[in-house]
Amino acid sequence: MTFSTVLNKLKEYSKTLMILFAVFGIIVAYRGCSGEDKTYYRAGEVRAINSCGQYDSRSYLCGLDIYDTSTKQLLSNEMVGLKFQPRVGNILFSQCLVKGSHVSCSKDWVDIRS
């Protein structure tokens, strides 16, 4: 194909190409604007200790019922590794990541004293 043939084909499909470029540009702009990651922390209160044992010399592995204050839900028997033995009423924190309209929260909880 010669250059003039390619140029003629582009002229024939100019409307289609313009629409495709516009759609592609909107997608790129949307991803660029909404792609910013934001981090926040949710708090949870220990409501019950189902099981707890010393994991190693400096940490405990416990099955806890945690009341998640951000979702207002009770999370039953969450397995949590902590540096301190928990007590009912302790406040734990977990990290959440917001990207666009998607939110994902870590299953790891950290004691405020850690």
Per the structure, how many domains does the chain have? 2
CA geometry: angle 73, 105, 29, nearest 5 deg: 125
92: Cβ contacts below 8 Å, ≥ 6 apart: 43, 44, 45, 46, 64, 66, 80, 82, 86, 109, 110, 111, 112
Q: Which tens digits make up the pLDDT trace of 26-75? A: 766 665 555 567 888 889 999 999 999 988 888 899 999 999 888 889 99
Residues 96 and 69 in one domain: yes
Condensed to tens digits (0 to 9), the pLDDT of residues 77-102 reads 989 888 888 899 999 998 888 877 77
Q: Which domain holds residue 106?
A: 37-111
The helix (run of H) or strand (run of E) holding residue 82 is strand 73-82
Contacts of 105 (CB under 8 A, 6+ apart): 42, 94, 95, 96, 97
Residue 43: Cβ within 10 Å count: 15
- Co-location of 29 and 69 in the same domain: no
Q: How far apart are the first and last CA of the chain?
A: 69
**pTM, whole model, 2 decimals?**
0.61
Confidence of residue 113 (pLDDT cuts 50, 70, 90): low
Looking at the structure, do residues 55 and 95 belong to the same domain, yes or no? yes
